[in-house]
Amino acid sequence: MGNSKSGALSKEILEDLKLNTKYTEEELCKWYESFQKQCPDGRISRAEFEKIYGNFFPNSDPKVYARHVFRSFDTNDDGTLDFREYIIALHLTSSGKTNLKLEWAFSLFDVDRNGEINKTEVLEIISAIFKMIPPEEQKLLPEDENTPQKRTDKLWTYFKKGENDKIAEGEFISGVMKNEAIMKLIQYEPKK
């Protein structure tokens, strides 16, 4: 790849990302180059992140979802992500390994970061996910999954929870892991 100019991706971060994501060295270097062009100070803002997310979902509205994704990775709340956090975010939200992905998904749903998720939080995130489904695909959804409220109720019933109950992280991960249909409720991948 001959990426020898200064400002290139450090070996350490490159190795770390190769190990922890599905991306190749070539892809990572290419992304780093465009990342640097877009964010010369090495950090990506929430608005820029939302814009990039928008490119992946041209037929729907991923803005609210992108905002939650950003929040879940911006753990120190400084309003920016560095390149490493940014790549991990893209990786986990697209096709990370299930356990890690579900750990992340839990942090996405735990909007107020108190270590458990309640039904209001689930509805908030599922509504954001729902907005990413293009309208023509929404029409084809099963009757019991075709609104954010129905999806939230379905998930809540699956976990056998009452209105004011909460779900802890371990319970969430093992529960979702066991059920493909519930896994599908909490994510959306655009059709290629």
Interacting residue ranges for Ca ion, rule: CB under 5 A = 110, 112, 114
* Backbone conformation region of residue 115, classed left if phi is above 0, alpha if psi is from -120 to 50, else beta: left
The nearest distance, CB 68 to Ca ion, in angstroms, is 13
The nearest distance, CB 70 to Ca ion, in angstroms, is 17
The nearest distance, CB 112 to Ca ion, in angstroms, is 4
CA atoms within 13 A on the CB side of 139: 2
The nearest distance, CB 94 to Ca ion, in angstroms, is 25
Residue 98 or 114 with smaller CB distance to Ca ion: 114
Distance between start and end Cα atoms, the chain? 29
Residue 74 or 110 with smaller CB distance to Ca ion: 110
Residue 70 or 172 with smaller CB distance to Ca ion: 172
Q: How far is CA 75 from the centre of its chain?
A: 14
CA distance 159 to 176: 9
CA distance 94 to 172: 19
Residue 93 or 118 with smaller CB distance to Ca ion: 118
